[in-house]
Chains A and B, each alone.
Chain A
């Protein structure tokens, strides 16, 4: 007679064996999908930062319709339109209005997580002295020329300034030209990645070079991307002072100090009020 028990055991073993490939496939699918999920998630984490920033500006934009008209041009960093936007005289006044309104939401925004840009700041600190020293070493001609051009035509297009600078720079110093090239490179980089640290650097650099319109513009751009960067407010206020918008600078700094307790902003405010900073 047939041994059914033995046959059943053999059948059980066969069934287990037959299910092994299915289990293997299932497990591999699960593992692969987990890897893919993790991969895409990590990708998102990397890319999310920029969209968030752009979202910020987008969500802020409807608050002041006037700003929307001016500010979108600013991040494009076309040099001539930038100057024009500043030249219209409305932008320095209107933009701070936008800042005023933004400040009212500062408390909400302060809760948002923002990646550390410390390393970018470090880069700036390491590179800044190089640029700072340059104008001192070089004959005063360069700064004079810049000043002269501003005195004569303070609202002139930057193209002209750059041309004059180039002409003079060729005669005076090669290093000077390198600095402007560096700015252009950084502007290019900023266009690609919209990193506020880069725009802040450009603002600082333009401020140092005495191009306060540009400095103001880049400080504003930086502020729009990340309003918590202290230095952007400082450059913004300083540029306003240099552009003869002292009252607006004081007002802006006061509003900023309401939401933050920046000591540097306070010092700058005192200096502006007392007339130390001109």
Chain B
């Protein structure tokens, strides 16, 4: 195997949020379909939550790409923390109204009432746990008017669970939890990801044993898995460049290399 294969395989696992890299797994596909169905329902809000690295941002990006061709949808990957700036951005993006100066909630509601839209726009807010409690309350009020539909993602931590309970428990009609992958799903995820980039040889290197080892280290977290595999192929590349590939073998991924990658990425504290 040439070094370019390892290099390509390494780049497959770059931690980027790109809807093209979205890997269809059975369980994830079901969840995604239910999310898409929820958008069609007259729901006020949809909450997408899960631990970091479970693919929330990827889900949101994928949803944006899929919906943007058929309906009005806006995605905000980075939270707009300033309240006035938030309203101004929404006014401009949804209602095409440019507002100079400070825009408060009352003024923004006036804009919402004055402009009539053919369909209800969907606003996707990533990292919603970073919004202030006051702003979240305003977003809730806004969704109650049914003029804008919000899909928000939250990290599932103790604090964020509290936010979810206080603000959305009674108002959200749909909440979807994203979880880490199981060992089988992880194997499919890794192999599909590699095969998508035509790295068939490296995809075949992942046996159940090696995937189980990866699962043990990453607990099925997609972000951690991407990091680990990026380091793994980085090590492969280094061995290849030093002409030491024969010493580690290329038929399957040895546990030694997986552990070395984990040490390099900090998953193992050595």
Chain A interface (Cβ within 8 Å of chain B)? 1-4, 7-8, 10-11, 13-15, 17
Contact = CB atoms under 8 A, between A and B. Distances in A.
Contact of A11 (B234, B244, B259): B259
Contacts of B239: 4
A-B pairs with lowest CB-CB distance, top 6: A14-B270, A2-B238, A11-B260, A4-B238, A7-B260, A10-B270
A11 B254 CA distance: 13
A3 to B, nearest CB: 8
A14 B238 contact: no
A17 B270 CA distance: 9
Interface string B217-234: 000000000000000001
A10 B241 CA distance: 21
B141 to A, nearest CB: 52
Overall SS of chain B's interface: helix
Which of B238, B242, B256, B270 has the most CB atoms of chain A within a 10 A radius of its CB? B270
Overall SS of chain A's interface: helix
Nearest to A13: B270
A11 B231 CA distance: 14
A2 B244 CA distance: 13
Given A2-B234, A14-B263, 16 more contacts: A2-B237, A2-B264, A4-B238, A4-B242, A4-B260, A7-B235, A7-B263, A10-B260, A10-B263, A11-B256, A11-B259, A11-B263, A13-B270, A14-B268, A14-B270, A15-B259
B241 A1 contact: yes
Nearest to B241: A1
A89 B259 CA distance: 90
Contacts of A14: 259, 263, 268, 270
A7 B232 CA distance: 12
A21 to B, nearest CB: 15
B235 A2 contact: yes
Contacts of A15: 259
A10 B235 CA distance: 14
Interface size on B, as a range, is 10 to 19
A270 B59 CA distance: 116
Given A14-B270, A17-B270, A8 B260 contact: yes
Contacts of A13: 270
A7 B257 CA distance: 10
A12 B269 CA distance: 13
A182 to B, nearest CB: 75
19 contacts: A1-B237, A1-B241, A2-B235, A2-B237, A4-B238, A4-B239, A7-B235, A7-B260, A7-B264, A10-B260, A11-B256, A11-B259, A11-B260, A11-B263, A14-B259, A14-B263, A14-B268, A14-B270, A15-B259
Given A11-B263, A14-B259, A14-B263, A1 B268 contact: no
Nearest to B234: A2
Nearest to A11: B260
Which of A1, A4, A8, A15 has the most CB atoms of chain B within a 10 A radius of its CB? A4
Contacts of B270: 10-11, 13-14, 17
A1 B263 contact: no
A13 B263 CA distance: 11
B7 to A, nearest CB: 12
Interface in B207-223: none
B102 to A, nearest CB: 52
Interface string B246-270: 0000000000100110011000101
Contacts of A17: 270
Interface in B133-150: none
Contacts of B259: 11, 14-15
Nearest to A14: B270
A7 B259 CA distance: 10
A172 to B, nearest CB: 91
Contact of A1 (B238, B256, B264): B238
A17 B260 CA distance: 14
Contacts of B256: 11
Which of A1, A7, A10, A14 has the most CB atoms of chain B within a 10 A radius of its CB? A7
A4 B245 CA distance: 12
Interface string B37-55: 0000000000000000000
Contacts of B238: 1-4
Contacts of A8: 260
A38 to B, nearest CB: 39
A1 B3 CA distance: 13
A208 B242 CA distance: 102
Contacts of A10: 260, 263, 270
A13 B260 CA distance: 11
A163 B256 CA distance: 90
A246 to B, nearest CB: 92
Contacts of B242: 4
